[in-house]
Structure 1
Amino acid sequence: MNLIQYFFSLEAQRKRLLTKAPEGPLKQYLSVPIINLEQPVMNSDILAVDFETTGLNAKQNNILSIGYVELAGNEIHLDSCYHQIVAAHCELEGDNVTIHNITDKEKASGRPLASVVEDLLVALAGKTMLVHYAQIETTFFEQACIKLYGMAPIFPVIDTLALAKKRHDRCSQAYAPSRLHLTNLRAEYGLPRYSAHNALNDAIATAELFMAKVQHSELKGHTKLKSLITTAFS
């Protein structure tokens, strides 16, 4: 299947899902066409997203917080910044509190999962999701939608970790897996170190890394969006 067929297959999947989706946020999300993957990345609407979770298993663990920021017109729009703690119905272990700096009290005062996922669906409609290590955000987002709506949406994804791995794999020298950590990749481009494990901080950090790649010789602004799509879910 070529990329043009791939795009239309995404649209076909979206339309099929739209006919099955229950009334509400998911149906509204699916009513918006998939972003045109033929357009230059600098002209594309992208949403950098990060989830903080209690673990790595989307079926067993919970979303603690969601952060995101929009990229459009080759710029990061900080006025679109979003960060919300989710009222997860579980007790946090000590490691969770230490890593994410979210206490049980803060978690209890968070907003319901349904409300936060609805916000994300509204923000993501017609855009490409940008993440660092897609496995976390995509699987937890899918599971949340299945829990809330009985089905998962479809959405194209750019994974900065996958892009970096592809670049490093082309080199003849071996490299440590830690080179692909968000903080270490940012250091390669001279980007500042942010406090990790805050959903909004990590979303902004991912957006900045992506913009550095676009402005660097490895990715030009006229690069078509389709060449950067890691995969599409669900």
Structure 2
Amino acid sequence: MIFNWLLRKRTTLSEIVTRFSRTAFPASSTPVQQTDFLALDLELTGLNPRKDHIVSIGWVPVKAEEIVLSEARHYLICSPVSVGQSAVYHGLHDHQLANGKELSQVLTELLTDYAGFVFVAHHSQLDEQFLRIACERCFGKAPRFKFIDTMKMEWQRLLRQGKVVKHDALKLPSCLKRHNLPEMTNHHALEDAYSCALLLLSQLKLGGNKMTLSDLYLLSR
């Protein structure tokens, strides 16, 4: 652990992104059983990635179709702006974030420890945009991420069953209920990441043993 810390200290911020980018992602033909995923969730001050900020990050690795709770992480982020009315949604207030971690420190851990992982999020477009812009702010550039979207996968699954997809049907709590999964506290980064991991595993099980990453990418479009 001390060696890793010293190594990171000597590594420039731009090199962190470069190393992440140089790590190959699994081929599209890789079976999902052999793919390492990282379910993650962000809590935000708003929905505009150019103007708003990340206030907490939670992630949960999934390896060989098993959740690795020992590697799950949750961090509060020291925000450069007041959370304002967004506290109504995520329950975090300025005084709690005052002692939070620096965003660059958390992103360094994320990019260093999970290079080559396929990231998973519920409504991944928003998380990917915020991550990309956060990396640009912290490191001067952003890597290319690979994301699987459990919300879009669920939408595709329901459409193929010929079901009418109502307005709230694709929200994470609704998806968990539909898959008979435990209900979690909404808008807590770690719990939402864990819920996303559970939903992914349920979706993979329903998809059968022959699913590949290519199939997931198609379902996430």
Question: Residue 164 of structure 1 corresponds to which residue in structure 2?
Answer: 154
Opposite residue 135 of structure 1, the aligned amino acid is Q
Alpha-carbon contact 1:157-1:230 (below 8 Å) kept? no
Opposite residue 189 of structure 1, the aligned amino acid is H
Select the residue among 103, 112, 121 that pairs with 1:131: 121
CA offset at residue 193 of structure 1?
0.6
| Mapping 1:50-199, distance limit 5 Å | 50-93=41-84, 95-199=85-189
**Could you list the per-position Cα deviations for residues 73-109 of structure 1 after superposition, in whole angstroms to 9, with x for gaps in the alignment?**
110111110100111111121x322321212111111
* CA distance in 1: counterparts of 2:87 and 2:14, whole angstroms: 37
Paired-residue identity, % = 27
* CA distance in 1: counterparts of 2:78 and 2:13, whole angstroms: 24
Question: Residue 9 of structure 2 corresponds to which residue in structure 1?
Answer: none
Alpha-carbon contact 1:87-1:109 (below 8 Å) kept? yes
* CA distance in 2: counterparts of 1:176 and 1:136, whole angstroms: 21
Does 126-135 or 173-182 show the bigger shift?
A: 173-182
Alignment of 1:229 with 2:217, yes or no, is yes
Alpha-carbon contact 2:36-2:61 (below 8 Å) kept? yes
Alpha-carbon contact 1:97-1:103 (below 8 Å) kept? yes
Alpha-carbon contact 1:51-1:136 (below 8 Å) kept? no
Structure 2, unaligned runs of 5 or more: 1-11
Question: Alpha carbon RMSD of aligned pairs, Å?
Answer: 1.8
CA offset at residue 40 of structure 1?
0.7
* CA distance in 1: counterparts of 2:111 and 2:13, whole angstroms: 14
CA offset at residue 229 of structure 1?
1.7
Alignment of 1:200 with 2:194, yes or no, is no
Q: Summarize the Cα distance change of 1:30–1:48 in structure 2 as closer, same or farther, 3 Å threshold.
A: same
Question: Residue 19 of structure 2 corresponds to which residue in structure 1?
Answer: 28
TM-score by length of 2: 0.89
* CA distance in 2: counterparts of 1:79 and 1:150, whole angstroms: 31
Alpha-carbon contact 2:58-2:193 (below 8 Å) kept? yes
Alignment size in residue pairs: 209
**Could you list the per-position Cα deviations for residues 43-76 of structure 1 after superposition, in whole angstroms to 9, with x for gaps in the alignment?**
1100001110011110010001111010011101
Structure 1, unaligned runs of 5 or more: 1-20
TM-score by length of 1: 0.84
